[in-house]
Chains A and B, each alone.
Chain A
Amino acid sequence: MTRILANRVRVWLLGGLMAAAFVFSAPLATTAEAQSKDPIKVGFSMALSGALAGGGQQSLVAIQLWAEDMNKKGGLLGRPVELVFYDDQTNPKNVPGIYSKLLDIDKVDLIVSGYGTNLIAPAMPIAIEREMTFMGLFGMNANAKWEYEKYFSILPAGPDPAVGFSEVWFQAVQKKFQPKTIAVIAADAEFAQNLKEGAVRNAKAFGMEIVYEENYNPKTPDFTPILRAANAKKPDAIYIASYPNGSAGLVRALAEVGTDAKAVGGGMVGLQFAGIMAGLGPMLNGIANYDFFVPEPTMNLYPGASDLIDRYQAKVKAENLKVDALGYYLVPWAYANVDILGQAVQAVGSLDQDAIADYIRDNEFTSVVGKVKFGKNGEWDRPRTLVVQYQDITNNDLSQFSKAGTRKIMLPADISTGELQPFNDLRK
């Protein structure tokens, strides 16, 4: 009797253990199953060295975070995600070979672009020839000539990016100061020239007279002569379309020469980078510039972005990565670039490129950059650029830029956290 009871207890115990093992191991089994299957390879080139390395390196970390997230969830279509990437050295010449290797040798299943227009453009013909869905990261009008139906851009500048990018800045300035004259200063480089073209069209649309229009060589070491020449025309506002080195140089020149213009800034790339912000510190006060994501309390329309930024910053710190310490500028966008593609693959349930592209074209997505819907040429159906003004920066401490208040949002109005003030009122 005792032996029978003992046997029954053993059977029940064994059964219970097996049931518990089954219940608790189910998610692990899914992950393990995903790991054992062939991975889905996502291929891309990235500017990890050269002029755009600052942006490229933080984009890579963001994409790696996405891959980690996907694999924790059991992968894509039940298969683990594997990233295959190469450094394009910010050199368009290297891009065709890289994408050819990705597709012909590495046999990747999905491709996304590197960072920036001139590194997206050389990859376009390969994507078109192989009929691949192609996500572009911060490409300005990259598909305008190609009109490729499977290209989708992650840049919140709207269907006409050149105009949409600066439109909101002109709206903010017009609303507050009603400027009659404007000076336009732009770098002799691809992105800045596109911005300038849009700014000139916006200035005319808002009835502003362009009293000074000048391009500068990106290697210009001293910007004070340019600023003095602009000041001589006494503009009410100064729109600047510049790259990181020029942006920093122009901010320093502004600190030295000053200006009577009420609004200064607009399209200054690089002022969003942690190193440049910390380096310039109080010299940034008063500049009204574009941005995409800032640590203001109203930015909660981007679900998960703050959490992503926290994870990015923790990873950078823990692994001592030599990349942008804050990551506000590019991390959410680089993450969304692959996230939207991943969402489409999951929804379609296959790697059929036509079906993936059709799904992306026809649906609205929610990612860490909020709601995204694509329109003509794969550009966003409406612009969502922010205008922020640098305020209350007292020193060069980097940590102040990770808190609310140093880059207050002027527009869009529904997430505004401050009011645009005249440039000189914020200079001490």
Chain B
Amino acid sequence: MKYLFEIVCVLLIIGIFVLTQVVGNQFYFFIGFVILQYMVLATAWNILGGYGGYVNFGSAGFLATGAYTSVALINFLDIGLVEQIIAGGAIAGLLGFVTGYLTLRLRGVYFAIATLALAIILETVVAHWDYVGGAAGTSILPKRKPELFDIMVVDRKTGIFANYKEFLFFLMGTVAIISVWIARYIENSKLGRGLNAIKDSEEAAECMGVPTLRLKLIATTISGAMMGVAGAPLASYLTFIDPLSAFNLEYAVNAIAMPMIGGTVSWMGPVIGALLLGTAQQVSSLWIQSELNLLIVGVLLVIFVIIAPEGIVGWFRKSRKGSRG
């Protein structure tokens, strides 16, 4: 069936919507939002890092670009959450394009350092930009009763969603599913195959006629835009944002760790990694001990690098090949 995946995606979005209507306990929406946000971030990282082999250490910078675009536009135009996501994605995508253009000659560790530097530069800029709160941070007051096309979106009695967290969870769920669809589409398209060729040998790919410059620019733009989309609702989720939380190293570490653990060769890798690691982190933070949070990431990374360097997906594929003889 040609459009089976798309149908599953639509069903999943409907499923997420049903969840918001059925589940009364808001806690699950808080936890779900964080895991879905990581899913988008990891999927975005994997487009450049997994398919193209360009390791981006500045994921937090792109995510924060989306978050601070939202803050600036809330302050300036008081725009709604959907518009924030679109604008955050557009600006972070533009940043991705510029980054890709400026770092064209850089590869391997030099590219990674350049992206890390980009995040630090952005953090410094934001810390000195008083309009978005500067180093002190700023509180964001989400609209109590947001409307979209004259339809009441959030209201306890008359809205589609009873509270703001349900709305945020639904939006992030939708964004996550669209991100996964984009990643899968890229993986199976000329772009994905071209990026794989770049990953193996950029010179060889160039010689074979792969337009490496164009593909890298497209990949950095799409990856940046998706990270920006993941970050855009952050301010509304936290209702307070400062450079410390928006540019947190945890985002950069998880964006890399999740695809590495899940597997970088397929769109499923970041999804599995985000679900596994995101859930483990949330559970350990709230039920066991908060310090375990980062320890879990470290230990799992070490284990997977040693036992399954191609991640869970790669490990399964290998074991399936093995069983076939």
Report A's interface with B, CB cutoff 8 A: 48-49, 86-89, 91-98, 100-101, 103-105, 118, 121-122, 124-125, 129, 145-146, 187-194, 215, 217-218
Q: A118 to B291: give the CA distance in the assembly, Å.
A: 20
B219 nearest CB across to chain A (Å): 28
Which B residues, 1 to 38, have Cβ-Cβ distances below 8 Å to chain A? 25-27, 29-31, 34
Q: A190 to B138: give the CA distance in the assembly, Å.
A: 9
Task: Give every chain A residue within 8 A of B181 (Cβ-Cβ).
Answer: none
A193 nearest CB across to chain B (Å): 4
Q: Do residues B27 and A100 form an inter-chain contact, with CB atoms below 8 A?
A: yes
Q: Do residues A89 and B134 form an inter-chain contact, with CB atoms below 8 A?
A: no
Q: Do residues B141 and A86 form an inter-chain contact, with CB atoms below 8 A?
A: no
Q: A118 to B293: give the CA distance in the assembly, Å.
A: 21
Q: A95 to B242: give the CA distance in the assembly, Å.
A: 14
Closest to A218 in B: B135
Closest to A96 in B: B30
Q: Do residues B26 and A100 form an inter-chain contact, with CB atoms below 8 A?
A: yes
B122 interfacial contact with A, CB 8 Å: no
Q: Do residues A145 and B30 form an inter-chain contact, with CB atoms below 8 A?
A: no
Closest to B31 in A: A97
Closest to A120 in B: B240
Task: Give every chain B residue within 8 A of A188 (Cβ-Cβ).
Answer: 127-128, 134-135
B290 interfacial contact with A, CB 8 Å: yes
4 more contacts with CB within 8 A, not counting A97-B30, A145-B139, are: A86-B285, A89-B285, A103-B27, A125-B239
Task: Give every chain B residue within 8 A of A124 (Cβ-Cβ).
Answer: 139, 239-240
Q: A215 to B136: give the CA distance in the assembly, Å.
A: 12
A132 nearest CB across to chain B (Å): 13
User: What 0/1 pattern do residues 154 to 189 of B give for CB contact below 8 A with A?
Assistant: 000000000111000000000000000000000000
Closest to A92 in B: B245
Q: Do residues B248 and A93 form an inter-chain contact, with CB atoms below 8 A?
A: yes
Q: Do residues B135 and A94 form an inter-chain contact, with CB atoms below 8 A?
A: no
Q: Do residues A94 and B127 form an inter-chain contact, with CB atoms below 8 A?
A: no
Task: Give every chain A residue within 8 A of B240 (Cβ-Cβ).
Answer: 92, 118, 121-122, 124
Which B residues, 123 to 162, have Cβ-Cβ distances below 8 Å to chain A? 124, 127-128, 134-137, 139, 141-142
Q: Do residues B135 and A101 form an inter-chain contact, with CB atoms below 8 A?
A: no
Q: Select the residue from B31, B248, B290 with max chain A CB neighbours within 10 A.
A: B290
Q: A193 to B133: give the CA distance in the assembly, Å.
A: 10
- How many residues of chain B get a CB closer than 8 Å to chain A's CBs? 37
Q: Could you say which of B27, B135, B241, B244 contacts A104, with CB atoms under 8 Å apart?
A: B27
Give 18 pairs: A residue, B residue, CB < 8 Å, sorted on A. Answer: A87-B285, A89-B285, A89-B290, A91-B245, A92-B242, A92-B245, A93-B248, A97-B31, A100-B29, A100-B165, A121-B137, A121-B238, A124-B240, A125-B164, A188-B128, A193-B134, A193-B135, A215-B135
Task: Give every chain B residue within 8 A of A100 (Cβ-Cβ).
Answer: 26-27, 29-30, 165
Task: Give every chain A residue within 8 A of B242 (Cβ-Cβ).
Answer: 92, 118, 190
Q: A376 to B72: give the CA distance in the assembly, Å.
A: 29
Q: Do residues A125 and B127 form an inter-chain contact, with CB atoms below 8 A?
A: no
Task: Give every chain A residue within 8 A of B250 (Cβ-Cβ).
Answer: 91, 93
Closest to A95 in B: B238
B237 interfacial contact with A, CB 8 Å: yes
User: What 0/1 pattern do residues 241 to 254 of B give for CB contact below 8 A with A?
Assistant: 11011001010000
Task: Evaluate whether A94 and B285 lie within 8 angstroms (CB atoms) in the complex, with A49-B290, A122-B238, A188-B134 already known.
Answer: yes
Task: Give every chain A residue within 8 A of B163 (Cβ-Cβ).
Answer: 129
Task: Give every chain A residue within 8 A of B165 (Cβ-Cβ).
Answer: 100
Q: A166 to B128: give the CA distance in the assembly, Å.
A: 23
B208 interfacial contact with A, CB 8 Å: no
Closest to B24 in A: A104
Task: Give every chain A residue within 8 A of B25 (Cβ-Cβ).
Answer: 104-105
B41 nearest CB across to chain A (Å): 13
Task: Give every chain B residue within 8 A of A104 (Cβ-Cβ).
Answer: 25-27
User: What 0/1 pattern do residues 272 to 307 of B give for CB contact below 8 A with A?
Assistant: 000000000010011001110100000000000000
A107 nearest CB across to chain B (Å): 11
Q: A98 to B245: give the CA distance in the assembly, Å.
A: 16
Q: Do residues A96 and B237 form an inter-chain contact, with CB atoms below 8 A?
A: yes
Task: Give every chain A residue within 8 A of B128 (Cβ-Cβ).
Answer: 188, 215
Instruction: List the 4 closest pairs (A to B, CB-CB), nearest first.
Output: A121-B240, A188-B135, A87-B290, A193-B136
Q: A100 to B163: give the CA distance in the assembly, Å.
A: 13
Task: Give every chain A residue within 8 A of B241 (Cβ-Cβ).
Answer: 92
Closest to A97 in B: B30
Q: A217 to B245: give the CA distance in the assembly, Å.
A: 16
